[in-house]
């Protein structure tokens, strides 16, 4: 069947084809029109509609267009046509095999019958005028938006918006425009803007309070714009002086002229008790870093005229605020402003010549030869305040070609005298600020113009001018009202002040009710009487106040608002979503849906469903009574029809907007054996790498019960689904771990029964895997009454939020084992009778929050710990620092004691020994120190009868405790032995004794010293040393009166192991100290020697021998028991025939036998002690190896010659005594390679062989000389010379012949034979020199 179906599908595969194409319609205005077309193809084509080649977006004008598709028939309906709907409409059908289209025109006419003057190019009829050109619509959807942000002066802040642009065409990108308080932001060193790849960024490189405000990002296209906005708050940076005010802001420059400008600014918000008393204005010439203070004393208003500038130079300005604590940080510097007269530009004239040339001349050049200028005109006060008057005038006309300066004169009304104001510095600008005027007096002013030719007449005097403020400090704002906005913000509104002259804006302060501490809400004045205060704590009660500010100062604070609890405002809920078909029996459908994302600040009380047949345009109500649950069975449906549904949610505020229409659901009976879809997926406990997903069981279970569930996961942007759990779980929750932080995932659930895996649920909405800031977890503990509980705190509670506690993610509805207590933003679950049945996973979620939830796994060990703590609280005990213990005093007394954390003076206590109470007595001294909490008993005599159990019982108020100590068996024996030892120690110290027993020390020359210290000695005290019970007599006897006795052990080695003993004796007694040098003690001594020897070791040196190259290291002392390691090229060397390791008492060596090139390289000797090692290294390579190898070869040849030369190796005596007429045979063994030649000598002459002398050499090694019938003439020195090519030697024998009856001659000592050097040539003629003496023996 599968093959047949595949063949049929292959035959059906084809590109889209329109069977019925669109046709043109002409309709009247406000009438509906419907375009139809029929298309076929396999797979089913997707049809999109276009108007004048622009895709139709039904969401852009809801209700205007309706697009339907049913059984291959596609339609576009325009409900109420307008003239602008006149256009060409196109339907484009697409599948994987191709694309096709059909188009038609729609012409909309008016009822008046007035024909439009323009004709269609396509149709031979008159049509209304076509609408304006419509540009390609670009849809922009913001994916990630910048939120309300708080920054601090000096920081860098970046606002980021990520968006999806459809269509995303490289040559048709929107323009990103940034605004602050509806004023477009320009690129500068303070603001950097970037846009690309769907991301718009604004970086504020150095935050200042000037940057505070409402920021708006507008993505502008030719077809419209999309925008997002959020408020950015900038806090004051930490002041360099504690208590100093914040910096002023918004520095502006006005009325700039040749030597004069006016600087204005906005004052900082102050909530402390130290108000601003004035401001300092600083200026800096561009190109320098020299800031100059313009005013000597602080100016109290937010405006100041600066004069004394140099014409043509540019300046920057800044302002600092002052209070009685200190001076603030400076404001952000202003933009550079040039000191120029703007009227100079108006005096320039341009004369255009032919060929594009032009001449620029000044009007002064056309005025002729004017020398002395005329008087200035129109002198008047352009600005007045309490401290200065700004005079303005017009330059004289004509003014002449020379540069002008001005002098100002003043006269008090009625005085009749004039006084020069600017006596030292002439004014170049037609502006001047006059200070130091008497308050309440009227003045007249006049101006004189001056050039190099002279001074003009004085101008006409001004009308009387009096210094006064145009306006004063504003009055306090009126009634203030705070209303809820979001979980962390409140809307504050107020009435404007009645006196608001020169108003700059308002500052808003907030305070937690009861705290009496006010904090600034905005650090830059706002101009409107409505402000949204952000950054508030959910659930807290706040009050607010407002003050107005102008350039004169601050108003009084307004009255405080009524307290308001910060929670989201109550509105109607958002639409439900995720409408799912859960089951269908042919005449009814069971629907499920998800809770609205926003509940509107009130509990959802009802849901209302609308339905319609897809062929019908009108919705009708499905339910009249409200639905309480998020599942509903829709009855009385027509089998085979397609339906769509929409749902509305309701709360106390009313009914919200309807949801989007559901998919088209076909009413047909479900008969599949597998389960239907699970539904209502929710997510909780979202952390950085994990989350918990929950769902509800399918309504339609199939042919058998559901046995488990599979959860699938897919990363956003991918189409690959992965199964989280290969083995189906039988519960309706799953913790998904090992996720990547800051990524989004979607999920779906598939139910399983005996027939197989069922239909997957709807795909969940994307879940962003990242823990919320300040995420809290469930805490467990025990309260003051000993109750075990789990508690949770939520900082985002709303008025309708509720804590939902679950066990194994099933809501706890039975309270026989637990109780739930909730108060405010805290909730806890209390266990009534906790036991192992209460073990498991507990979770809590908070409704009407953004997924606030947590879980806690109560394990066996944790429960045991909590139950133990509960028992301690319910049964109070006196806490003990130390349980009952004992210590033994010097004379063998035993002290039993314990220490409590705290005891009162009214504590009752008693000691019980073996169930018998012991009272205070001479033998048992009992006492208690309540200040330290120590209770003790001192036993004077601790004997074998003291074995048993010791207990202290105490009661202090209601608290009780006891502590016991069991002294039985081995524990008691150890205590008794210690007591006896201390008693004996006390007695021992009554006579001569060892203050410190024997111990060892290694001297710098590596001599080991055995040392002991003695006490209570006298001159008669005798000291002895022993080793293994054999007395040691040191070279220098010890002086016991010095208190220290020492035994040196030079050249320490394993032969010195044994038991050393020292004894002290006099008439008062004896003391003995034993010290066994073996095992670990021996190893420690060797380590001590190694430390000194290793630090004294010399560098490695090369010494050649006949066997090879020897590397040797000299040190103070060496013994084979020391731990040493030789290494070659960092590889450890073990002693072998090739590498022999050895040493003497003063050196250690490594013999490299028969070295080859492989033996080149770095050699290291490592001498180890217990803590560190000492390294010595030599590099046996290069010239060092060449020289050593040559020396080795020389020595080797010499040794080889010595080994193989001819020699006598045994058999000959030194002296032979023989009686006359006997036969003497001298026999010896000779050796040589090659076989040596043997020559016998008598009295240094070679023996002539014959019957009397016979010589034999057998097997090349047994040489003999036989003398037949010796006589006295044969007495003398005989020698044998053995020689080959490597050399030889001569051995002499003294022969004494005596007659019968004579005394034996005295023997004479001989000497060892001397080896002869190897011959240079054949030694035939040269006789060897016999030795002077020989060996002596007797035969």
Residue 459, burial from CB neighbour count under 10 angstroms (0-12, 13-18, 19+): buried
Checking 160-164 for CB contacts under 8 A at 24+ apart, the result is 160/199, 160/200, 160/201, 161/199, 161/200, 161/201, 161/217, 161/228, 162/198, 162/199, 163/198, 163/199, 163/200, 163/219, 163/226, 164/140, 164/198
- Beta-strand pair 788-793/826-831: antiparallel
Q: Is residue 978 classed as helix, strand or coil in its secondary structure? A: helix
Instruction: State residue 356's pLDDT score.
Output: 63
Helices and strands in the chain: count of H runs, count of E runs: 6, 101
Joined tokens for residue 952: 């202290």
Joined tokens for residue 1237: 């030649």
Q: Within its chain, how far is the Cα of 293 from the centroid?
A: 46
Residue 1314, burial from CB neighbour count under 10 angstroms (0-12, 13-18, 19+): middle
Q: What are the pLDDT digits (tens) for 798-840?
A: 777 889 999 999 999 888 999 999 998 899 999 999 999 999 9
* Backbone angles phi and psi of 1092, in degrees to 5: -75, -45
- Beta-strand pair 25-28/98-109: parallel
* End-to-end Cα separation, the chain, in angstroms: 126
Instruction: State residue 713's pLDDT score.
Output: 94
Cα 507 from Cα 524, distance rounded (Å): 7
Per-residue CA distances from 578 to 433, 660, 763 (Å): 72, 9, 9
pTM of the model: 0.49
Q: Is residue 220 classed as helix, strand or coil in its secondary structure? A: strand
Low-confidence residues in the chain, pLDDT < 50: 1-12, 112-134, 1308-1339
* Backbone angles phi and psi of 1188, in degrees to 5: -65, -40
Cα 105 from Cα 125, distance rounded (Å): 12
Nearest 5°: CA angle at 585, between 582 and 591? 25
Q: Judge whether 192 and 176 are in contact, CB under 8 Å.
A: no
Q: Which residues pair with 14 in a beta bridge?
A: 42
Cα 200 from Cα 525, distance rounded (Å): 28
User: Element (H or E) spanning 152, and its range?
Assistant: strand 149-152
Q: Judge whether 458 and 393 are in contact, CB under 8 Å.
A: no
Cα 937 from Cα 895, distance rounded (Å): 6
Joined tokens for residue 1299: 């007659």
Instruction: State residue 1026's pLDDT score.
Output: 93
Instruction: State residue 1306's pLDDT score.
Output: 60
Q: Judge whether 611 and 619 are in contact, CB under 8 Å.
A: yes
Joined tokens for residue 977: 């032995």
Instruction: State residue 115's pLDDT score.
Output: 39
Cα 364 from Cα 344, distance rounded (Å): 10
Count of Cβ atoms closer than 10 Å to residue 1033 Cβ: 7
Q: Which letter does DSSP use for residue 52 in this model?
A: T
Joined tokens for residue 1162: 């770095």
Instruction: State residue 280's pLDDT score.
Output: 93
Count of Cβ atoms closer than 10 Å to residue 268 Cβ: 23
């Amino acid at each position: 069947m599968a093959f047949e179906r595949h063949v049929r599908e292959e035959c059906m595969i084809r590109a889209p084809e329109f069977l019925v194409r669109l046709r043109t319609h002409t309709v009247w205005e406000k009438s509906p029109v419907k375009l139809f077309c029929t298309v076929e193809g396999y797979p089913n084509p997707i049809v999109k509609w276009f108007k004048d080649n622009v895709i139709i977006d039904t969401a852009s004008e809801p209700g205007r267009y309706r697009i339907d598709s049913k059984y291959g028939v596609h339609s576009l309906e325009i409900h109420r046509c307008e003239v602008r709907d006149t256009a060409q409409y196109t339907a484009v059908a697409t599948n994987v095999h191709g694309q096709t289209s059909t188009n038609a025109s729609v012409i909309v006419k008016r009822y008046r019958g007035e024909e439009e003057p323009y004709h269609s190019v396509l149709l031979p009829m008159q049509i209304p005028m076509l609408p304006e050109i419509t540009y390609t619509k670009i849809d922009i959807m913001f994916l990630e938006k910048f939120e309300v942000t708080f920054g601090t002066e000096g920081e860098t802040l970046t606002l980021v918006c990520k968006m999806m642009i459809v269509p995303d065409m490289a040559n048709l990108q929107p323009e990103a425009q940034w605004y602050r308080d509806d004023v477009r932001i320009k690129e500068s060193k303070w603001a950097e803007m970037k846009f690309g790849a769907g991301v718009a960024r604004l970086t504020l490189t150095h935050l200042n309070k000037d940057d505070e405000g409402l920021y708006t990002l507008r993505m502008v296209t030719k077809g419209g714009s999309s925008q997002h906005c959020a408020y950015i708050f900038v806090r004051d940076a930490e002041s360099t002086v504690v208590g100093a005010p914040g910096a002023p802001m918004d520095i502006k420059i006005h009325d700039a002229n040749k030597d004069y400008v006016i600087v204005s600014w906005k004052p900082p918000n102050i909530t402390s008790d130290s108000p601003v008393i004035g401001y300092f204005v600083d200026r800096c010439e561009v190109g320098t870093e020299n800031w100059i203070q313009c005013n000597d004393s602080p100016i109290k208003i937010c405006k100041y005229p600066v004069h004394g500038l140099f014409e043509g130079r540019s300046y920057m300005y800044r302002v600092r605020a002052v209070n009685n604590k200190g001076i603030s940080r400076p404001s952000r510097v202003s933009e550079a402003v040039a000191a120029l007269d703007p009227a100079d530009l108006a005096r320039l004239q341009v004369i255009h010549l032919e060929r594009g040339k032009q001449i620029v001349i000044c009007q002064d050049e056309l005025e002729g030869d004017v020398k002395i200028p005329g008087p200035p005109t129109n002198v008047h006060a352009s600005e007045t305040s309490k401290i200065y008057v700004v005079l303005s005038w017009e330059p004289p006309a004509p003014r002449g070609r020379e540069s002008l300066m001005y002098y100002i004169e003043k006269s008090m009304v009625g005085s009749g005298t004039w006084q020069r104001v600017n006596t030292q510095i002439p004014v170049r600008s037609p502006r001047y600020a006059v200070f130091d005027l008497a308050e309440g007096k009227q003045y007249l002013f006049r101006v004189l113009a001056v050039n190099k030719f002279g001074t003009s007449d004085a101008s006409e005097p001004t009308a009387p001018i009096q210094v006064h403020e145009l306006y004063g400090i504003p009055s306090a704002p009126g009634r203030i009202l705070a209303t809820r906005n979001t979980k962390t913000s409140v809307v504050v509104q107020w009435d404007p002040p009645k006196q608001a002259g020169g108003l700059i804006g308002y500052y808003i302060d907030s305070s937690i009710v009861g705290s009496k501490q006010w904090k600034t809400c905005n650090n830059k004045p706002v101009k409107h009487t409505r402000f949204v205060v952000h950054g508030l704590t959910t659930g807290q009660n706040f009050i607010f106040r407002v003050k107005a500010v102008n350039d004169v100062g601050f108003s009084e604070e307004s009255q405080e608002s009524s307290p308001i609890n910060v929670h989201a405002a109550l509105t109607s809920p958002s639409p439900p979503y995720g409408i799912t078909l859960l089951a269908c029996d042919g005449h009814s459908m069971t629907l499920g849906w998800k809770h609205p994302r926003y509940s509107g600040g009130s509990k959802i009380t009802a849901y209302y469903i609308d339905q319609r047949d897809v062929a019908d345009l009108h919705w009708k109500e499905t339910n009249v009574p409200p639905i309480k649950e998020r599942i509903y069975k829709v009855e009385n449906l027509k089998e085979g029809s397609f339906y769509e549904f929409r749902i509305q949610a309701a709360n106390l505020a009313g009914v919200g907007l309807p949801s989007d229409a559901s998919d088209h659901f076909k009413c047909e009976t479900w008969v599949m054996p597998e389960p239907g879809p699970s539904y209502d997926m929710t997510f909780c406990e979202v952390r950085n790498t994990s989350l918990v997903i929950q769902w509800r069981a399918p309504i339609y279970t199939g042919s058998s019960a559901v046995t488990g569930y599979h959860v699938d996961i897919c990363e956003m942007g991918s189409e690959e689904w992965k199964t989280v759990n290969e083995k189906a779980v039988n519960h309706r929750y799953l913790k998904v771990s090992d996720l990547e932080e800051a990524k989004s995932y979607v999920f779906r659930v598939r139910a399983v029964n005996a027939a197989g895996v069922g239909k997957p649920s709807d795909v969940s909405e994307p879940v962003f895997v990242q823990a919320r800031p300040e995420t809290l977890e469930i805490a467990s503990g025990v309260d003051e009454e000993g109750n075990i509980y789990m508690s949770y705190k939520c900082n985002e509670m709303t008025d309708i939020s509720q804590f939902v506690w679950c066990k194994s993610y099933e809501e706890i509805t039975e309270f026989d084992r637990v109780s739930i207590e909730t108060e405010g933003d805290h909730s806890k679950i209390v266990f009534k009778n906790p036991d192992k049945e209460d073990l498991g996973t507990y979770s809590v979620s908070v409704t009407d929050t953004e997924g606030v939830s947590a879980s806690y796994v109560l394990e066996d060990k944790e429960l045991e710990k909590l139950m133990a703590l509960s028992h301690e609280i319910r049964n109070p005990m006196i806490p003990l620092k130390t349980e009952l213990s004992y210590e033994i005093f010097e004379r063998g007394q035993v002290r039993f004691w314990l220490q409590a954390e705290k005891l009162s003076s009214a504590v009752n206590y008693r000691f019980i020994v073996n169930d018998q109470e012991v009272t205070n007595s001479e033998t048992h001294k009992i006492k208690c120190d309540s200040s330290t909490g120590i209770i003790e008993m001192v036993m004077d005599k601790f004997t074998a009868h003291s074995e048993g159990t010791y207990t202290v019982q105490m009661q202090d108020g209601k608290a009780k405790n006891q502590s016991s100590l069991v002294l039985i068996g081995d524990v008691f024996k150890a205590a008794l032995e210690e007591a006896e030892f201390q008693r004996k120690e006390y007695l021992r110290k009554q006579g001569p004794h060892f203050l410190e027993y024997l111990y060892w020390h290694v001297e710098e020359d590596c001599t080991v010293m055995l040392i002991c210290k003695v006490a209570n000695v006298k001159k008669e005290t005798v000291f002895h040393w022993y080793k293994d019970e054999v007395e040691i007599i040191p070279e220098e006897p010890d002086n016991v009166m010095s208190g220290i006795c020492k035994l040196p052990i030079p050249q320490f080695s394993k032969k010195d192991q044994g038991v050393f003993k020292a004894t002290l004796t006099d008439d008062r007694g004896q003391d003995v100290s034993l010290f066994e040098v073996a095992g670990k003690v021996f190893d420690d001594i060797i380590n001590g020697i190694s430390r000194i020897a290793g630090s004294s070791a010399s560098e490695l040196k090369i010494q050649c021998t006949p066997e090879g190259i020897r590397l040797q290291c000299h040190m103070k002392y060496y013994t084979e028991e020391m731990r040493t390691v030789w290494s070659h090229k960092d590889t450890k060397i073990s002693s072998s025939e090739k590498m022999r390791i050895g040493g003497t008492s003063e050196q250690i060596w490594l013999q490299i036998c028969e070295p080859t090139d492989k033996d080149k390289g770095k050699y290291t000797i490592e001498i180890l002690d217990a803590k560190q090692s000492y390294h010595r290294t030599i590099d046996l390579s290069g010239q060092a190896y060449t020289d050593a190898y040559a020396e080795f070869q020389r020595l080797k040849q010499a040794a080889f010659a010595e080994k193989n030369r001819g020699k006598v190796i045994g058999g000959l005596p030194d002296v032979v005594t023989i009686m006359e007429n006997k036969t003497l045979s001298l026999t010896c063994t000779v050796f040589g390679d090659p076989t040596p030649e043997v020559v016998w000598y008598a009295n240094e002459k070679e023996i002539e062989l014959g019957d009397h002398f016979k010589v034999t050499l057998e097997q090349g090694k047994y040489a003999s000389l036989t003398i037949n019938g010796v006589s006295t003439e044969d007495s003398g020195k005989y020698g044998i010379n053995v020689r080959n090519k490597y050399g030889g030697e001569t051995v002499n024998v003294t022969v004494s012949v005596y007659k019968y009856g004579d005394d034996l001659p005295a023997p004479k000592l001989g000497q060892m034979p001397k080896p002869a050097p190897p011959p240079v040539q054949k030694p035939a003629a040269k006789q060897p020199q016999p030795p002077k003496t020989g060996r002596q023996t007797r035969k």
